[in-house]
Homo-oligomer: A and B are copies of this chain.
Amino acid sequence: MGFNFNQTKTQKTFKTSITNHFMKETTLKEIANTLGISITTVSKALKNYPDVSEKTRQAVLDLAKDLHYTPNSFAVNLRTKESKTIGLIIPEVMHHFFSNVINAIIDEAEKNGYLVIILQSNESIELEKKQVELLINKRVDGIIMSLSNESNFDEHIKEIINRKIPFVMFDKISKLANCSKVLIDDQKAAMSATQHLIDKGCKKIAHIRGPLNPQNAIDRYIGYKKTLDKNQIPYDPTLVYTCENVTFQEGLDFAKQIIEEHPDVDGVFAVTDLVAVGVLSYFNDHKIKVPQQVAVIGFSNWFMSQVLTPKLSTVDQPSHEMGVASFHLLLEEMNAHKENIAFAPKTLILETNIIERDSSRKS
């Protein structure tokens, strides 16, 4: 009867091994059958459980190696309920700041055994909602995100938090969201940048700000305004120009507009380097001397800004550190989540500092 039983099992095995296009993947079952032991023992042997004899363990290890056994991650995911994959949503991959962050997150994640799925919102809240949904359905272990210009503490963000999915926001965050955050003090940084121009002797400073919605554009604008106040420079709203898409072209266009509307402007603080580079480009082409006539300072310390003539002064925004910090906060939360330990969201504010280069070196 024992024999009969065995035979039945063997038949089953054959029946199951459907021939298809997939390269026959080695499974625990195959190893078990070959060695005439149970699947459990094979599993345990591979994971160094103590209750497997040295002899059996070796046999399993050897055969597993021979057959290039790799655990089926789909099955492991299902059992363990985690996929060692995180999701990252950013406005756009091609932006220098974000590529830096991506770079950091991918590397840091990998070092810690995680893979990263990247999605872009293209600054659209609709797309962003879709991306969040995709990641939730995918059941990633955690999500790192920088908001699009259109988003705030909207439904999709609440959904992530409600579902208790480990979640970190960086750079473009929503103040209302109760989750971990990694950011810089944009107001303070903008104050330093504006003060820098004033210290260099600028008396009439224009500000090319970012869109009206995102928090960091607001904060930079406030920083600019506060610093004028502090230095008893009257605030003139016509000196503030608002970008819609924060592009090189907008920098170019606003530079033209600034010079036409305020020929006596002697300083420009742009919300980000790309825009500042547009400004520089216009000034270059129109023989407006930088920094002699107009000093310019950007924001975020893009690699390219030190390559231009004149080299652009800027605020150093630690993109790489932001990526690393974001991942580590997420990791902490994912670990707590797994152990079913309550996790109190943390906010990390990273330091920035002014990098003085030619575009503001007046003295």
A→B interface (CB under 8 Å)? 20-23, 70-75, 77-78, 81, 83, 85, 92-94, 96, 99-100, 102-103, 106-107, 110, 115-120, 131, 134, 136-139, 162-164, 248, 277-278, 281, 284-285, 303-304, 307-309, 337-338, 340
Determine the residue in chain B with the shortest Cβ distance to A337: B21
Q: How far is the CA of A212 from the CA of B226 in the complex (A)?
A: 55
Q: How far is the CA of A261 from the CA of B39 in the complex (A)?
A: 70
Q: Chain B residues with Cβ under 8 A from A337's Cβ?
A: 21
Q: How far is the CA of A125 from the CA of B106 in the complex (A)?
A: 17
Q: How far is the CA of A85 from the CA of B116 in the complex (A)?
A: 11
A70 CB, min distance to chain B CBs, angstroms: 5
Judge whether A115 and B134 touch: CB under 8 Å: yes
A137's partner among B70, B116, B117 (CB-CB below 8 A) is B70
Judge whether A102 and B93 touch: CB under 8 Å: yes
Q: Chain B residues with Cβ under 8 A from A70's Cβ?
A: 136-137
Q: Chain B residues with Cβ under 8 A from A106's Cβ?
A: 93, 118-120
Q: How far is the CA of A74 from the CA of B22 in the complex (A)?
A: 19
Judge whether B21 and A164 touch: CB under 8 Å: yes
A304 CB, min distance to chain B CBs, angstroms: 5
Q: How far is the CA of A23 from the CA of B70 in the complex (A)?
A: 30
Determine the residue in chain B with the shortest Cβ distance to A136: B70
The 7 closest A-B pairs by CB, nearest first: A21-B340, A74-B77, A74-B78, A94-B99, A93-B103, A115-B117, A23-B163
A304's partner among B99, B136, B304 (CB-CB below 8 A) is B304
Q: Chain B residues with Cβ under 8 A from A134's Cβ?
A: 110, 115
Judge whether A117 and B116 touch: CB under 8 Å: yes
Q: How far is the CA of A337 from the CA of B309 in the complex (A)?
A: 53
Q: Chain B residues with Cβ under 8 A from A85's Cβ?
A: 117, 138
Q: Chain B residues with Cβ under 8 A from A74's Cβ?
A: 74, 77-78, 81, 83, 139
Determine the residue in chain B with the shortest Cβ distance to A94: B99
A115's partner among B73, B119, B277 (CB-CB below 8 A) is B119
* Contacts known (A99-B99, A307-B281); A139 close to B93, Cβ less than 8 A: no
Question: What are 8 contact pairs spanning A and B, CB under 8 A?
Answer: A23-B163, A70-B136, A93-B106, A103-B120, A110-B134, A115-B119, A115-B138, A304-B304
Judge whether B81 and A78 touch: CB under 8 Å: no
Q: How far is the CA of A110 from the CA of B133 in the complex (A)?
A: 12
A73's partner among B22, B93, B137, B338 (CB-CB below 8 A) is B137
Q: How far is the CA of A21 from the CA of B334 in the complex (A)?
A: 11
Q: How far is the CA of A94 from the CA of B302 in the complex (A)?
A: 12
Judge whether B118 and A118 touch: CB under 8 Å: yes
A109 CB, min distance to chain B CBs, angstroms: 10
Q: How far is the CA of A70 from the CA of B120 in the complex (A)?
A: 22
Most interface-central of A20, A74, A304, A338 (chain B CB within 10 A) = A74
Q: Chain B residues with Cβ under 8 A from A92's Cβ?
A: 103
Judge whether A340 and B77 touch: CB under 8 Å: no
Q: Chain B residues with Cβ under 8 A from A138's Cβ?
A: 73, 85, 115
Q: Chain B residues with Cβ under 8 A from A303's Cβ?
A: 248
Determine the residue in chain B with the shortest Cβ distance to A336: B21
Q: Chain B residues with Cβ under 8 A from A23's Cβ?
A: 162-164
Judge whether A72 and B139 touch: CB under 8 Å: yes
Q: How far is the CA of A137 from the CA of B75 in the complex (A)?
A: 12
Q: Chain B residues with Cβ under 8 A from A163's Cβ?
A: 23
Determine the residue in chain B with the shortest Cβ distance to A107: B120
Q: How far is the CA of A40 from the CA of B348 in the complex (A)?
A: 48
